[in-house]
Structure 1
Amino acid sequence: MYKISIITLLISTLLISGCNSFKKNKPSSVNKEEMASKVIDEFKHAWNGYKKYAWGHDALNPLSGGFHDWYKESLLMTPVDAFSTMCTMGLEEEKKEAKEIIFSKLSFDKDMYVQHFEISIRLLGGLLSAYQMDGDERFLKLAEDLATRMLPVWSSPTGLPYRYVNLKTGAVRDSISNPAELGTYVLEYATLSSITKKPIFKEKAEKALLYLSEKRSSIDLIGSSININTGEWVDKMSHIRGGIDSYLEYLIKYYLFTGDKKYKVLWDKHKQALDKYAAQTVESGLWYSVVDMNTGERKATVYGALDAFYPGTLCLGGDLEQAKKLQESNFKLWTLHGVEPEAIDYTTMQIPEGNSFYILRPENIESAFYLYRFTKDEKYLKMGVEYYESLKKYCRTDIAYAHIKDVATKEKEDVMESFFLAETLSYLYLIFAPEEKFSFETHVFNTEAHPLKKLN
């Protein structure tokens, strides 16, 4: 009887093991090669629209066939921002086109104020990534010139950067800022210092990030806005939303980038505090709320398209279970109206007034990419297919891709910003692409999806 039980147990174990092995090894129902090719086709469609109607300008207007520039003169946002995606996709013809206009037209010797944050993540990060991926020294020359012109932003009494700087005069302005615009520079500036052997860039960015982290409350939360001259918080609401998001992201990424454990310690402190005070599980799933940085008291139950970056960051920090749960909520956000709105109240699943738009944001797709690479679960491939089909169905135009003014009506808006090519289509492609297209062992993405080589 005992022997029979042992034999039965062994057979059962082998059968279960065999079934599990079959499940793990069975062919995917998603044709990854075909999907990757389809995403490349859509990138080419959007790039060709930009070339035809907005060449030499920052961005395309994809309904009217017009263009728009961020400032009084173009800084070639789209060609610079899109270049790393071209490298990843292996688009040699498009790379050649982008290089020709960048090297013949791009100059930062312009008497105009620019936003330090956006210029750093899009242009400085884009140029540094382009240099590392392509090898052309002219990218590095442009990057160093840009960063040097922006150095005056670091002149505040606290060392936190001003929001705007004049590229010609060095004049700075706007002293009320947010953690994202204060602490999202270490990857770019440390990369530049490493290449040029000029430590000033890295030193400025690290000082600001560490100063900001020291301003966290006794329960390890930070606020939404701060006066960089006094170091006093102006808005004490804490969350993972826009304005704080990439500050959190860069703590864990900079640890991975450098191997310096103090940044992992800081990430862990913030992560644990957010889990304790901001995370909330309701009938619709796991979400993150807005809370008071000093008390942890919940102030709002709003979650949106920018918050959707967090599962990917949780993957990098090692909490896959929390990442999986939150990505389920991300996907609900996306499928609620066929494409995600800017934000919802997750207790009612209704869209707050003024948040019904979708501007081709990448974060939901970004998190699915991380989760697929970390888990190999096919559900994230299927999410990728859903994202692709939704974008093509609702956002594609004859010219390129357009923002959605209202996710309920699907009315389009005449805008396509550069991050659609730099981030949204890059992450979508990488969900399906061969793993060698991006290595977590050697690279980290900046917050604009530009791959940068690790320093460690």
Structure 2
Amino acid sequence: MSREEKLRLRNQVVEMFDHAYQNYMDHAYPADELMPLTCRGRVRGLEPSRGDIDDALGKFSLTLIDTLDTLVRRNHWFVLCFICFVVVVFSGLLGGHSMAVMLKEGGQHMQWYQEELLHMAKDLGLRLLPAFNTSSGLPYPRVNLKYGVRGPETRTGTETDTCTACAGTIILEFAALSRFTGDPVFEEHARRALDFLWEKRQRNSNLVGTTINIHSGEWVRRDSGVGAGIDSYYEYLLKAYILLGDDLFLQRFNIHYASIMKYISQPPLLLDVHIHKPLLPARTWMDSLLAFFPGLQVLKGDIRPAIETHEMLYQVTKKHNFLPEVTYLSAFTTDFRVHWAQHPLRPEFAESTYFLYKATGDPYYLEAGRTILDNLNRFARVPCGFAAMKDVRTGSHEDRMDSFFLAEMFKYLFLLFAEAEDLPFDVEDYVFTTEAHLLPLSLSAVPHLSSVSPNKTVIYMIAFH
């Protein structure tokens, strides 16, 4: 692909982002998310409940925060999904702070910045701490930002179960907050939760289940994979090593990874198994969230299986235009039958496409990125933004545009087509959170204020060959 064509596609990404973002600002702000079919904002409590999916909403301009811009705080107190709030709002504030500091230190922009975003992040971090008030140290799945967890006003605190990813996807943000502020309490809580999950792994298979009891540590769901419910637990073990330089995280990740490749990986497929009987498949389908895994394999330096799984996902994308939420897959057929046809404009396939291009330099992945762009414009673009697909087979839409679409999809696509001189910073100096917010690798040089001193040497494991 020529440099001129890459520039054209990069500019197209910018135009698409502007289309989505401006419509959010024009029709939805200060609501959390845009409803692109009806051109209005989604406000929790005013729209019909969608169940757990609404737990991330709380009248705090979620899309705005998730896209690393201005935060508007509003005086509403909802019971919120703990992990949703951490990886979207909390992470967005920390990523915004990182970018603001970088620009200020450059001497030309944001000279007025006085760590306002960091102060907000610490305030929210303190409000999240009551969620860890369990005997195990695993956080409650829901927390009230005003009243905490227990008590008649909290409307939470009775839950007993949480997903592994929900409890294990906090170390990057909480450690970053501790090292930015010098207050060790946040990192200590995150480390304790990870330690508990590690201790509760199935010792023979070295796999973890999908759902765990936050009080007893018993596995409630004993199926194990790399998709929904577990995905970012593995992601954060490796990225915690990259960000913090603590060899313990790498050792644990490598043990898990060996078991994943032994039991779950059936190239090019990744199929769930039972943690106590890992040779016994738990299901014959794959969910779309596992599309992040080839990108994680790139960070690990295991390129060949990453290429194989990405190619399989690309073939599914070519057949259905987008990755269905759940696809039936078999090692003996390539018909890729749809089980759950919804597609909420998830960015994980674009994420892995970007990392594979960075690792290999193969222009094939630029073409994959072009396919993603073309399909978004052809099938998801509507006058007021981009609408999720209700059914990839019929092309019908759903009236939703989740904040992660703006926060992640366009960021990875822009980076895919951008040249180094297009960026005001070196992206290799940062690690991506699971919501694609950027945290600086320089945090590894800040001491971990505890009785255990981590190795402060960071090796960023992307293979550029």
Q: Normalization by structure 1: what TM-score?
A: 0.86
Per-residue CA distance 1:131-164 (angstroms, 9 max, x = gap): 1102332111111111110100111100000001
- The structure that is helix-richer by fraction is 1
Partners of 1:226 and 1:234 within 8 A in 2 = yes
Q: How many residues align?
A: 406
Summarize deviations over 1:102-143 as a string: whole Å, max 9, x none: 2xx314x54321111011000010001101102332111111
Which residue number in structure 2 is paired with residue 365 of structure 1?
Answer: 350
In structure 2, the residue matched to 1:225 is 211
- In the alignment, what sits opposite 2:274? 292
* Contact 1:59–1:67 (CA under 8 A) maintained in structure 2: yes
Do the aligned partners of 2:324 and 2:338 also contact (CA within 8 Å) in 1?
no
Q: Among residues 378, 387, 399, which one is paired with 1:393 in the alignment?
A: 378
Q: Does 1:183 align with 2:149?
A: no
Tell me the equivalent position of 2:43: 69
Residue correspondence of structure 1 range 248-327 to structure 2 within 5 A: 248-281=234-267, 286-296=268-278, 297-327=280-310
Among candidates 218, 225, 242, match of residue 228 of structure 2: 242
**1:5 — aligned with what?**
none
Answering whether residue 102 of structure 2 is matched by residue 117 of structure 1, we say no
- Per the TM alignment, residue 396 of structure 1 is displaced from its structure 2 partner at its CA by 0.2
Structure 1: how far apart are the matches of 2:224 and 2:370? Answer: 34
Which residue matches 2:453? none
Aligned partner of 1:133 among 92, 99, 116: 99
1:391 Cα deviation from its structure 2 partner: 0.7
- Kept in 2: contact 1:255–1:264 (CA 8 A): yes
Task: Note the 1:334-373 alignment, pairs <5 A.
Answer: 334-347=317-330, 348=333, 349-353=335-339, 355-373=340-358
Superposed CA deviations along residues 46-83 of structure 1, whole A, max 9, x for unmatched, are 01111111010000000111211346851110100012
Report whether the alignment pairs 1:32 with 2:6.
yes
Instruction: Name whichever of 408-417 and 207-216 sits farther off.
Output: 207-216
1:329/1:152 Cα in 2 relative to 1: closer, same or farther (>3 Å)?
same
Q: What's the Cα RMSD here?
A: 1.6
Superposition pairs of residues 167-182 of structure 1, within 5 angstroms: 167-171=145-149, 172-173=156-157, 174-182=159-167
- Displacement of 1:206 in angstroms is 1.0
Match of 2:28 in 1: 54
Shift of 1:319: 0.4
> Structure 1 stretches of 5 or more lacking a match?
1-26, 84-97
| Secondary structure at the counterpart of residue 19 of structure 2 | helix
Secondary structure, counterpart of 2:166 in structure 1: helix
Aligned with 1:106 (options 73, 97, 113) = 73
Alignment match of 2:411 (pick from 405, 411, 426) = 426
Q: Is the 8 A contact 1:277 1:298 kept in 2?
A: no
Identify which range, 111-120 or 428-437, moves more after superposition: 428-437
Shift of 1:307: 0.7
- Alpha carbons 1:71, 1:112 under 8 Å: kept: no
| Correspondence for 2:435 among 437, 448, 451 | 448
Pair 132,422 (structure 1): closer, same or farther in 2 beyond 3 Å: same
Say whether the 8 Å CA contact 1:115–1:165 is kept in structure 2. Answer: yes
Letter aligned with residue 306 of structure 1: L
Identical aligned pairs, as a percentage? 35
Residues of 2 paired with 1:112 and 1:341: CA distance?
Answer: 31
Is the Cα–Cα contact under 8 Å of residues 341 and 358 in structure 1 kept in the other structure?
Answer: yes
State the shift of 1:336 in Å: 1.6
Q: Distance in 1 between matches of 2:94 and 2:44?
A: 21
Secondary structure, counterpart of 1:336 in structure 2: helix
Which whole-Å CA distance do the structure 1 matches of 2:7 and 2:308 have between them? 28
Matched, 1:160 2:142: no
8 Å Cα contact 2:206/2:256 also seen in 1 = yes
Q: Which has the larger radius of gyration?
A: 1
Match of 2:457 in 1: none
Q: Secondary structure at the match of 1:306?
A: helix
Give the stretch that moved more between structures: 226-235 or 336-345: 336-345
Q: Does 1:215 align with 2:200?
A: yes
Separation in structure 1 between the aligned mates of residue 77 and residue 408 of structure 2, nearest angstrom: 29
Match of 1:201 in 2: 186
Q: TM-score of the superposition, structure 2-length normalised?
A: 0.85
Distance between the aligned counterparts of 2:372 and 2:5, measured in 1?
15
Instruction: Report the AA paired with residue 133 of structure 2.
Output: S
Structure 2 Cα separation of the partners of residues 198 and 448 of structure 1: 24
Aligned residue for 2:123?
Answer: 145
Aligned mates of 1:427, 1:351 — CA distance in 2: 28
